[in-house]
Amino acid sequence: MTGVIAVSIAAFAGAPHCLGMCGPLAAAASSERGWLPYHAGRLITYGGLGGLAGAFGSAIPGPPWLVTAVSAVFLVGFAASLAGWLPEPKFALPGVVKAGSALLKRRGPLSRLGFGMVNGLLPCGLLYGTLAVPISTGSAIQGMGLMALFGVLTALPLSAAALGGRVLLQKRPARLVLAALVLVTGLSGLAGRGGWFVEEPAPCHTTP
């Protein structure tokens, strides 16, 4: 449940980012009834990345708390980026932009589906930070579900209904508050998974 809350807050806090980065792409893909295939493609990519992140978390050797610590590093970095204290990380995969441009020029739902899948691979600090949550689960299935939810929620700011909150969320005080919310919620969820605050059970019997 904490993972769902953390992903939901991250998607809400990243609304201005989604509008600025993917708003024009979503508008272009929405022509010719391409809105649903486009977002379906994004969900496929985000779900796949979440599955890989969860599998990565399960493959990290060492004690269980180590997975939580690795996730916490990602989460703190994202919160600092959201607050404007660190530059947003950008890892561009070769050929992604070229493939997206080629698909956008084509017509039909399959082209829009492919464009949405490619769009999900574009450099995005919000995406990288949110992947900390599925990493902490150590489960590919849970990771897929959480990032699919992230894809659904980030589709909402791309609609006209979300434009009213764009000015507010772009102001620095609001960004600091949202960064704090993401950090506190995410770290509390990670702490529960890592057993950082779990007390030792009381013994059933005491020795006289």
Which of 7, 13, 20 is CA-nearest to residue 122? Answer: 20
Indicate whether 187 pLDDT > 80: no
- Average pLDDT in the 75-98 region? 75
- Measured CA to CA, the distance from residue 36 to residue 19 in angstroms comes to 17
- Its pTM stands at 0.74
Average pLDDT over residues 49-61: 92
Compute the radius of gyration of the chain from its Cα atoms. 19
Report residue 41 as tokens: 């493609």
Query: Can you give the pLDDT at residue 206?
Result: 47
Quickly state the pLDDT bin for 180 (edges 50, 70, 90).
Answer: confident
Contacts of 46 (CB under 8 A, 6+ apart): 120, 127, 147, 148, 150, 151
The tens digit of pLDDT for each residue in 118-135 reads 988 887 877 887 888 888
Q: Are 191 and 197 in contact (CB under 8 A)?
A: yes
Q: What is the distance in angstroms between the CA of the first residue and the CA of the last residue of the chain?
A: 42
Least confident of 42-46, 115-119, 139-143, 184-188: 184-188
> What value does the mean pLDDT of the chain take?
75
Give me the residue label for tokens 């607050």: 83
Tell me the three state secondary structure of residue 87. Answer: coil
* 154 in Cβ contact with 127 (< 8 Å): no
Neighbours of 105 (CB within 10 A): 9
Pair 151, 120: CB distance under 8 Å: yes
